[in-house]
Amino acid sequence: MQQRFELVVFIPLAFYLIFYARPGVLPSEDGSGGIFTVIFLVLILVLIFCFRLFDDLWNREIDAGKPDRIYTDINSHTILKNFLIGFFAVVLCTIWFFNNEAAAVLTGFSLLNFFAYFLLFKKWKWRFILPLLKYPFLYFLLCIFLKNSAFSQYEILIGISLLPAFLLFEIFDDKEFFFSDWIIFSIFLAGNSLLLFANPTSVFAWILAGIGVVVFLLTYKNHADFKDVFPYAILIYFLILRLLVQV
């Protein structure tokens, strides 16, 4: 956790996902919102930790030359792998106790995720893309806890929009992960389109999206000048747009 799971980074990330899923789940006057926020915060942090460790274990050979990577040591790798299996089993059983559907969905996603890593991890750019799939999934998992009915088109489009948002974050944050300019622009437009189509009647969302596209085109070539904040600005932009879609 000291090397790969800094809470100062992952607590804001967990709040981001919670707020993206349900802005109303934040503290309310009667205090119920605050209680749910704490529960969901712990849930998201635990699951992100599991997925993070899973991804690191698959990266053992790639990260072998990097400092502060205890999982690259063969003995530590084995210990951490066994720990992850046991810890995840406990997490899964705990979730099953509270929500059978959520536990079943988590089991299904985890199996699909494992086979996706097994088949695709060493091909093309999949080792960068596969870890990002957990963010839309965690959104949908939160929605399962928050409702009893089937997903609406609105919720599905909002959930999927997290993938282009985090793809752009990773592209601008990791120099090893890159695409051509037109693909990056297409990803940005796809993220905007998914949110706008979720609620086409939101005038404020259309206005912000128009401004966002113009600003993105103007700043893209010079993003290296403020590379430390540009990836986070992308995430904040999509969160604001997601909020406006609901208005």
> What confidence score (pLDDT) does residue 66 get?
86
The DSSP code for 124 is: T
> What confidence score (pLDDT) does residue 121 get?
93
Q: Which long-range contacts (CB under 8 A, 24 or more apart) does 6-12 make?
A: 7/45, 10/45, 10/48, 10/49, 11/41, 11/45
The DSSP code for 110 is: H
> What confidence score (pLDDT) does residue 145 get?
86
Half-sphere exposure of residue 199, counting CA atoms within 13 Å on the CB side? Answer: 14
> What confidence score (pLDDT) does residue 30 get?
46
Buried b (16+ CB within 10 A) or exposed e, 42-73: ebbbbbbbbbbbbbbbbbbeeeeeeeebebbe
- Contact indicator for 180, 171 with CB cutoff of 8 Å: no
- Contact indicator for 146, 25 with CB cutoff of 8 Å: yes
Q: How does pLDDT run along the chain (247 residues), one tens digit per residue?
A: 888 999 999 999 999 999 898 865 554 444 455 677 788 899 999 999 999 999 999 999 998 888 889 999 999 999 999 999 999 999 999 999 989 999 999 999 999 999 999 999 999 999 999 999 999 999 999 989 877 667 889 999 999 999 999 999 999 999 899 999 999 999 999 999 999 999 999 999 999 999 999 999 999 888 777 888 999 999 999 999 999 998 7
Looking at the chain, how many residues does it have? 247
> What confidence score (pLDDT) does residue 162 get?
97
How far is it, in rounded angstroms, from Cα 64 to Cα 97? 39
The residue among 56, 22, 61, 58 whose CA lies nearest residue 39 is 22
pTM (2 d.p.): 0.92
